[in-house]
Chain A
Amino acid sequence: MTEETTELTLPSRIEAIAEAAAKADEVAGRLRLSEDAAFGLDMAVREAVTNAVLHGNKQDASKPVEIAFTDAGGELVVTVRDRGTGFDPANVDDPTAKENLLKASGRGILFMRNFMDTVEWLPHPEGGTVVRMTKKR
């Protein structure tokens, strides 16, 4: 089976988020994803890249965010790598808990998990963190 990968490397600026989302929309169109799946992909990519830019790379424009979309036949695999010091999702508060409902931030991971089939965070052997997300086609 042939895998097709689309890669994108962006500087850690807020503008990179919309650029990554535009690429996600392009991939969704090429793969003829349903409207709902395309919306979910766009959202998950926005949130993953937002986390990479803000929390991983702390908006240091010299640090890249690397994004890859791989059409692996039955599923789409998306990876987003930052150059941060690591991330443990277990340390993130549940934004739907009553005591957190009025917090202004902390909902990105909830959206990623909601709109993709799997989401996992892995340390990259050369540094930084990779979030790997999959969506069945």
Chain B
Amino acid sequence: MAELSINERQAGDVTVLDMSGKITIGEGSVALRGAIRKLIEEGKKKILLNLSQVSYVDSSGIGEFVASFSAIGREGGQLKLLNLTQKIQDLLAITKLLTVFDTYDDESSALNSFK
């Protein structure tokens, strides 16, 4: 079974990536990078990462969030985070990245924030 599975769905003009598994160095980080690259190539620039089923993220995974945020930003788009687990929230606090990312606890608020 893949370390990270990513399901893509469209909510209006926002692309939601429902992710499940681990985002760690190697397979998980590479899968997220590939998914973001594909969305950029398709011209999709409003991206919401749903992390509710992400059980573990290491520094490589956190770095991939940052790289994705920057890549989408360079294209004039936005990347936001939805349903952070307590552990992921703690990691973003430790790294002071809660000051960088827009994070949401419910999907409708997150989707509305892109308008």
Query: Which residues of A pack against B, CB within 8 Å?
Result: 14-15, 17-18, 39, 43, 46-47, 50, 95-96, 101-108, 110-111, 114
List the count of A-B residue pairs having beta carbons below 8 Å apart: 57
List B residues 24-63 near A (Cβ within 8 Å): 24-26, 58-60, 62-63
Do the beta carbons of B87 and A50 come within 8 Å of each other?
no
Do the beta carbons of A114 and B94 come within 8 Å of each other?
yes
| Set B25, B91, B94, B96: member contacting A101, Cβ < 8 A | B96
Query: Can you list 7 A-B contacts (CB < 8 A)?
Result: A46-B24, A96-B95, A96-B96, A101-B100, A102-B70, A107-B95, A111-B94
Chain A residue numbers with a CB within 8 Å of B67 are 104
Do most interface residues of chain B lie in helix, strand or loop, or is the interface mixed? helix
List B residues 62-78 near A (Cβ within 8 Å): 62-64, 66-67, 69-70
Q: Which bracket fits the contact residues of B?
A: 20 to 34
